[in-house]
Chain A
Amino acid sequence: MSTLHVLSHSPFGDDRLTSCLRVIGAEDALLLSGDAVYALQPGTTPFDSLGTRGLRLFVLAEDAQARDLLTPDWAEAIDYPAFVELSIHYDKVNSWL
């Protein structure tokens, strides 16, 4: 059983990313959307912890584009049709509301 975790809150001043990284499993993936894509701001603690973690990481392309954030080569930018496909590929979706 695998889970797609979805974050939409900024990692700065919020503990969702920390808690998510604590419980995410080896078969799971993480999708950053909304302000959660600020985790891709280079030179920050969230950026470094995601980069060294080696997990399957996806980014909602429109949110990265709006914030002028580049998608590093250890992440994949996706659109809505790909988001739908991801939600099918994984057994369940856990959105950290």
Chain B
Amino acid sequence: MRTGLLIEFVMKFAIALFSAAHAPSSRRALLFAQAALAGGHEIVRLFFYQDGVYNASSSVVTPQDELDLPRQWRAFVSEHRLDGVVCIAAALRRGVLNEEEARRYQREAVAIAAPWELSGLGQLHDAVQDADRLICFGGA
């Protein structure tokens, strides 16, 4: 039986991703997020900015023998009921729209759906305020 001597701290993480799904840093972000939850910690929000928006795209087709990161992200966010926010301005610029935005701008392709949500940069700041740590992944 556990005694009260061992106090485990639950940390609140905000995780921001800035690179496309094919970048090694996107895989690192997912493995870090999985390890954080496995360690008993909390993820207050995932925020995808810049090329990170491509990780939420349902239009990515990964060859069968390669790691399908957009699919893994989707499964991870759904399974753990995480708050997965995609920056709307960055997504529009890169052609990754949800149904509402596709209708608004009269575009045919819809690439974002639940569990992802398009929202503004305020959600990144909001997550920083909520979290104990902001961890960014991107670049190479």
Do A and B touch, yes or no (CB under 8 Å, in the complex)? yes
- Interfacial residues, chain A to chain B (CB-CB below 8 A): 8-10, 33-36, 60, 79-81, 83-85, 87-88, 92-93, 95-97
- Interfacial residues, chain B to chain A (CB-CB below 8 A): 9, 11, 13, 18-19, 24-25, 28, 31-32, 34-36, 38-39, 41, 132-140
Q: Name B's interface SS.
A: mixed
Chain A nearest Cβ from B72, distance in angstroms: 14
Contact: A96 with B38, CB < 8 Å? no
* Interfacial chain A residues near B140, Cβ < 8 Å: 8-10, 34-36
Contact: B35 with A97, CB < 8 Å? no
- In the complex the two chains form, what is the Cα distance from A65 to B44 in whole Å? 32
- In the complex the two chains form, what is the Cα distance from A81 to B36 in whole Å? 7
* Interfacial chain B residues near A60, Cβ < 8 Å: 28
* Interfacial chain A residues near B133, Cβ < 8 Å: 87-88, 92-93
Contact: A88 with B18, CB < 8 Å? no
Contact: A88 with B136, CB < 8 Å? no
